[in-house]
Amino acid sequence: MPFPRTSGVLLHPTSLPGRFGIGDVGPVAYQFVDFLRDSGQSLWQILPLGPTGFGNSPYLAYSAIAGNPLLISPERLVEDGWLIPEDLVGLMDLPTQTVDFDRVSQLKMGLFRKACQSFRENKTSDQERQFQEFCTNKAFWLEDYALFMALKLAHDGASWHTWDEDIARRKPEAIQAWQQKLKDEIFFQQYLQFEIFRQWSDLKTYANEQGIEILGDLAIYVAHDSADVWAHPDIFCLDGETGEPALMAGVPPDYFSETGQLWGNPVYNWERLQQEDFRWWIQRIQSILDYVDLIRIDHFRGLESFWAVPQGETTAINGYWVNAPGEEFFNILNERLGSLPIVAEDLGFITPEVEALRDKFELPGMKILQFAFDSGPENPYLPYNFESPNWVVYTGTHDNDTTVGWFDQRGLQQKARVTRYLGCTSDQGIHWDMIRLAMASVANQAIFPLQDILGLGTEAKMNQPSVAEGNWAWRFEAESLTDELRDRLKFWTETYGRLPQGKK
């Protein structure tokens, strides 16, 4: 589905400023939407919103559908009466430029348990009805997720495949017994999802009213230690005895790593998914569309063929390609949900077959300008090689260095390739030169990480692919979004014809 000519900003909500050690969907999120509106933007791209596990990666969540409770705004809970203002006084001091996930979780979960107790004791009949309707409407994933999270707490965070065999293999008697034993914690987990979905829905509604659409991110794989794999082991390639992944996801050696990337997620049992007409996948996408307007499918190529690494390997070198039924999947998806606003993350080792799948369903692909300058004039990431407007062009993504960091680390000849293509560099910095290059391209959509708009260096990088820890923690300071920055972004957005209609 081709999109109109617009532009936007990539920023995960955890990177927003705020007093609770992590960005959330409180007042500052609304202020960021206002910045997007006032600077002429139409898109806010985010990373997956799921509850993160090991390494705090949004791409290794405990659920493919649930929301991250750490995004709940305590200030909104005060507004709703589930906390009192005094609850937010005298809290621990937390960093403002990074996220200390362990301390944030300690702080926020304490507040959320207090709010949950208040909700249980004081909710009105109408609020009770809203809560029950939420639990009923989301039951196909929420019941498994709430029990899974309660079980993880009861097992000191251990992975589900190490639990007692009866509950690890979901025997009905064990499920019933644990549901009764953990009913209070299950209620708490349901309450957290009720709040994050409600708060996020309010924010999305506000954004849409301001002319801002949310471009969400669907991680193609889910974490092995997740409610999805525990509840649906038959649709994943697992070891029948241990429950561990029999085949692990990853990519072969590439731009980011000489040994490839071994993600560790179990790959899908596509034969089983086909037998069920891809029911789990369709429910997943339908659920994600409840809280985003457009979807970027991460590692889109894995829907055509995927790199499978046998159990026991420590790198991705010794994997092999396996075909996936992508065309059949998209045909059924379109039959059930219609033509959807999907962006294909088509980076890495892309074959003609992957391109054919993308183009058959008219899905916009991605062009990364940082990839454009280290080969000849046929480089597909150079803007004059964009063969159609049906692309989303980026200066870089969350997996790249910032544009300033990328340019600073290039040698003199490598820098010269960039400046020669640009014709000259302005006094506004290389980051603005690259933003202008993206804006001026024929690509229907141009998106920039906020770090590039701010002109930040490598210290502000969001993620280092193939490195398990120390990522995802960057945050910006509230005073960074100045009026001058707003006006400059709007000026170039208007100059290159990307202002939404009615904003000129």
Q: CA-CA distance, 306 to 284, in Å (whole number)? A: 20
Q: Which of 144, 195, 213, 345 is catalytic?
A: 345
Q: CA-CA distance, 18 to 16, in Å (whole number)? A: 7
Q: Which of 144, 185, 298, 433 is catalytic?
A: 298
CA contacts within 13 A on the Cβ side of 324: 24
Q: CA-CA distance, 474 to 454, in Å (whole number)? A: 13
Q: CA-CA distance, 188 to 113, in Å (whole number)? A: 7
The CA-atom distances, in angstroms, between 252 and each of 147, 221, 462, 466 are: 36, 16, 22, 12
100 belongs to the catalytic site: no
The CA-atom distances, in angstroms, between 170 and each of 176, 178, 227, 435 are: 10, 10, 12, 51
184 belongs to the catalytic site: no
CA R_g for the chain: 23
Beta carbons of 112 and 192 less than 8 angstroms apart:
yes
* Closest C-alpha among 372, 442, 446, 377 to residue 407: 372
Phi, psi of 89 (to 5 degrees): -100, 140
The CA-atom distances, in angstroms, between 397 and each of 45, 157, 452 are: 10, 31, 10
How many of the other CB atoms lie within 10 Å of CB of 427?
Answer: 5
* Closest C-alpha among 422, 355, 480, 428 to residue 97: 480
The CA-atom distances, in angstroms, between 35 and each of 42, 210, 355, 359 are: 11, 10, 36, 34
Buried-exposed string 466-478: b where 16+ CB fall within 10 A, e elsewhere: beeeebbbbbbee
Distance in angstroms between the alpha carbons of the first and the last residue of the chain: 25
Q: Which of 399, 401, 433, 452 is catalytic?
A: 399
Beta bridge partners of residue 261, listed in sequence order: 251
Residue 157 one-letter amino acid: G
The CA-atom distances, in angstroms, between 365 and each of 148, 230, 361, 381, 492 are: 36, 33, 11, 11, 23
298 belongs to the catalytic site: yes
* Closest C-alpha among 254, 370, 336 to residue 301: 254
445-449 and 6-10 beta bridge pairing:
parallel
Residue 369 one-letter amino acid: L
365-368 and 305-310 beta bridge pairing:
unpaired
And the tokens for 67?
């929301």
Catalytic residues: 298, 345, 399
